[in-house]
Amino acid sequence: MNDLHAAAKTCLDAADPVEKLRLTHETWQALLAGELGPDAGSPPPAPIGAPGRPPRPRLVPARQVPQRGLGTPAGRAALVHAVAHIEFNAINLAWDAVYRFRGMPAGYYRDWASCAHDEARHFAMLAERLAELDHAYGDFDAHNGLWEMAEKTAHHDTARMALVPRVLEARGLDVTPGIIERLTTVGDTRTIAILEVILREEVAHVAAGTRWFHWCCARDGVEPRDTFIALLRQYMGPGLRGPFNHEARLRAGFDAGEMDRLLELANA
């Protein structure tokens, strides 16, 4: 059986989006076929650095990414580009979770390889929509917040599972319904259809984060809710924002007590 960790690193390092998508789909299919698996003899993971990505988009601080209205094709293209950038980062995040954290159950690796496969499909749909709007990935500036959190949590799987899928990626569950509502007012049914697919499937991705965060907490003998809040305070400080998509987060494995604590932190 070939080494899944090495295959994940190859996907992670691919800079060209078309190549990254091709490798991602091939790796997922090889895992399903039993041709790939985690190898205890695989070399330890290298220190985390920048993932493979094209020269563009230019990465700037989040506050410098311009906010554009959705009333024009250029504004809608900028929105689609922003979501595409999130999905491209999510491919890398999923493969880094496979590559970096060793000795996990087989289901952990299957979950994150499956997520990478889904995110690649999402990116392809968004890239096609960008082309319809006469743009391409890289045409607009973007920020690097998702990967920066990956770098901060590279040392510990519990922190990674808590803060990337359950905080940063879960933010998509919160904001996407409002974006869909705004796009409805301008009649952009094509983008809406794509975002509805992404929203539905991202619930399962956040749920995978919940599942493996709880597994890590059980392994380490710590209480999940208190650990989650402590990690939020340590890494996010006052940066947590609402409102929250309560129903979607419950389907993704949050419980009512966690949601109450999140509201308290966001309103502090």
Q: Quick one: three-class SS letters along the chain?
A: CEEHHHHHHHHHHCCCHHHHHHHHHHHHHHHHCCCEECCCCCCCCCCCCCCCCCCCCCECCHHHCCCCCCCCHHHHHHHHHHHHHHHHHHHHHHHHHHHHCCCCCHHHHHHHHHHHHHHHHHHHHHHHHHHHCCCCCCCCCECCHHHHHHHHCCCCHHHHHHHHHHHHHHHHHHHHHHHHHHHHHCCCHHHHHHHHHHHHHHHHHHHHHHHHHHHHHHHHCCCHHHHHHHHHHHHHHHHCCCCCCHHHHHHCCCCHHHHHHHHHHHHC
**CA 145 centroid distance within chain:** 11
The residue assigned the tokens 């929105």 is 79
pLDDT tens-digit series, residues 186-200: 999 999 999 999 999
Please compute, for residue 250, the number of CA atoms within 13 A of its CA located in the half-sphere on the CB side: 7
CB 26 within 8 A of CB 2: no
- pLDDT, residue 240, reads 80
Please report the domains of the chain, with CATH numbers, ordered by start residue: 2-35+60-267 (1.20.1260)
Local confidence pLDDT in tens for the 268 residues of the chain: 599 999 999 999 999 999 999 999 999 999 999 999 999 889 999 999 999 999 999 999 888 887 778 888 899 999 999 999 999 999 999 999 999 999 999 999 999 999 999 999 999 999 999 999 999 999 999 999 999 999 999 999 999 999 999 999 999 999 999 999 999 999 999 999 999 999 999 999 999 999 999 999 999 999 999 999 999 999 987 768 889 999 999 999 999 999 999 998 888 7
| Separation of alpha carbons 57 and 141, rounded Å | 5
The answer to whether 131 and 183 are in contact (CB under 8 A) is no
pLDDT (tens digit per residue) in 122-169: 999 999 999 999 999 999 999 999 999 999 999 999 999 999 999 999
Query: Which residue from 44, 212, 43 is spatially nearest to 112, judged by alpha carbons?
Result: 212
pLDDT at site 1: 56
Cβ atoms 57, 142 nearer than 8 A: yes
**What residues have CB less than 8 Å from 268, skipping those under 6 apart?**
238
> Which pLDDT belongs to residue 64?
83
Question: How far is Cα 46 from Cα 27, in angstroms, rounded to an integer?
Answer: 20
Phi, psi of 142 (to 5 degrees): -145, 170
Global pTM exceeds 0.85: yes
